[in-house]
Amino acid sequence: MTGLVAAAFEAPYLDYAALAPEMVLTGVLLAVLVVDLFVDEDRKAIVAQLAGVGVLASLVPILFLAVDGNDRSMFSGAYVVDDFALVFKALFLVSGYVVLLMSADHIEEGDYWKGEYTFLLLSSLLGMVVMSSSRDLLSIFVALELLSLPAYMLAGWRKRDLRSNEAALKYYLLGVLSSAVMLYGMSLVFGATGTTVLEDIAVELGGGVTEPLVGLGIFFIVVGFAFKVSAVPFHFWAPDTY
């Protein structure tokens, strides 16, 4: 019986070269977490410097993948590394590096939790990088939550500030609501098309699928995204948070 189960299970194909930017960034995340535990308070700037070097290091495999020029696909088309994904990965990493530089002095001079800030910022950045290659509803949702959860905590990062606490609570509650709405919409689309891969969904819709649930599901997904990006008229939480 065990042999039959082992024979039926086929390990997914992993292209480690394509996953190199995410792997490097994850390694930097863990390194920041460990270094922050053992570095004295007056030397916390090392954590930010390590994060900056790690973000730049994550750009190196992106350059090699861009020079290679081959599109890479994993998990039955759910995760794709192509020119589109590489451009956005590089854009997000460069933006994250700029944010680290701009916030370094502010974090150093204020009474803030320096290591936690760097870790949360890199975690959110990892979610952005993963989303760049996501071509599946589930992987998009996971990447979006990986991006959003650290942002909730960053909004309430100044623990002694009541306004920061209020902003974080509002952001979290509305963020959870939007995630639930979006996930419900994804479940409706999956129920109508039988797949979560975007390319396969497009094929099903092009083949004449006229289920009313598809339109309703897409509507819920758009509403969930609109909450996440504070698009009008779902932007009322943004002033308190930002």
Same structural domain for residues 174 and 220? yes
Nearest to 155 by CA among 181, 141, 142, 174: 174
Segment 191-234, tens digit of pLDDT: 888 888 888 888 887 766 667 788 888 899 988 888 887 777 77
Mean pLDDT of 125-145: 91
pLDDT at 112 over 70: no
Coil, strand or helix at 118: helix
Same structural domain for residues 130 and 147? no
Same structural domain for residues 228 and 166? yes
pLDDT band at 63 (very low <50, low <70, confident <90, very high): very high
- pLDDT of 58 reads 92
Segment 160-191, tens digit of pLDDT: 777 778 888 888 888 888 899 999 999 998 88
Per-residue b or e along 152-187, where b marks 16 or more CB atoms closer than 10 Å to that residue's CB? bbbbbebeeeeebeebbebbbebbeebbebbbebbe
Same structural domain for residues 111 and 215? no
Which pTM value belongs to this model?
Answer: 0.85
Same structural domain for residues 51 and 165? no
Same structural domain for residues 77 and 166? no
Same structural domain for residues 2 and 108? yes
- Residue 242 lies in domain: 140-242
Same structural domain for residues 185 and 170? yes
Number of domain units in the chain: 2
Same structural domain for residues 103 and 147? no
pLDDT at 5 over 70: no
Give the end of a domain, one of 103, 119, 135: 135
Are 166 and 242 in contact by the 8 Å Cβ rule? The answer is: no
Give the end of a domain, one of 135, 156, 180: 135
The alpha helices in 69-161, defined as continuous H runs, are 83-109, 114-133, 137-155
Instruction: Count how many residues are written for the chain.
Output: 242
Same structural domain for residues 220 and 150? yes
pLDDT at 1 over 70: no
Mean pLDDT of 141-170: 83
pLDDT at 95 over 80: yes
- Point out the least confidently predicted range of 12-16, 22-26, 62-66, 118-122: 12-16
pLDDT band at 87 (very low <50, low <70, confident <90, very high): very high
pLDDT band at 111 (very low <50, low <70, confident <90, very high): low
Terminal-residue alpha carbon distance, the chain: 57
Same structural domain for residues 25 and 41? yes
pLDDT band at 3 (very low <50, low <70, confident <90, very high): low
Same structural domain for residues 109 and 163? no
Give the end of a domain, one of 135, 150, 183: 135
